[in-house]
Amino acid sequence: MSRVTSITAVALLIGSLTVSAFAEKIAPNTLGVHEKKAGWTLLFDGKDISHWRNYQKDTIGDGWKVENGELSRKDKGAGDIITKKQFDAFEITLDYKISKGGNSGLMFHVTEEEKKPWQTGPEIQIQDNVDGHDPQKAGWLYQFYSSETDATKPAGEWNTLRVLITPKKCVHWMNGKQYVEYVKGSDDWNERLAASKFSKFPKFGVATKGHICLQDHGNPVSFRNIKIREVK
């Protein structure tokens, strides 16, 4: 076999492995072989909520229910929930299903130094873009970075939100479409912060490590397939 042929064969092998990795069919709330090798772990497996607790509490409110493999904000008394573990650089992916006109959010680098998690942790908006009342759309970084793209599916259907958070680059994807890219703490970030409602909270966006939060905004919302990978 010639050197060129050998290189071509290796390239084809790598290509086939890459294709097989993406072609792997993975059931909701489970990890595939390639995900495990890449360091992904489950924050919710469809049954276990031991990775979560209410903000500034040790337990989870009764308004959160685990049914049919979904973690759902069903009733009053749910409250914002956060991961017990804190994360600095990471990649997270989850499926969410929002109610008609509903609103929720995913926050990161949350600390428990203020009354509300959004007073310290930046929020990635989750809402029904059609009948929701907030001008900040799903997948945007609330009052910071927006996207002209709307790849969301209608209320009642599953959407997949993927987020990468690192000191050098942060990126959001919605249903496979890239929305925004930014650097937390950059000059551009600080200018936007100064112009936002969060400027009056001295702890906002300061922490480089913190909890991940799922917001109770008073509307029904369901989550599943919550996976995270720490980035070194």
Choose among 114, 135, 139: nearest CA to 125. Answer: 139
pLDDT of residue 24: 67
Q: Pick out the chain residues at pLDDT < 50.
A: 1-23
pLDDT of residue 25: 82
pLDDT of residue 127: 98
Long-range contacts of 167-171 (CB under 8 A, 24+ apart): 167/89, 167/208, 170/141
Phi, psi of 150 (to 5 degrees): -130, 100
Q: What are the beta bridge partners of residue 181?
A: 171
Q: In order of start, what are the domains of the chain with their CATH numbers?
A: 39-230 (2.60.120.560)
8 Å CB contact between 145 and 104:
no
pLDDT of residue 111: 98
pLDDT of residue 1: 47
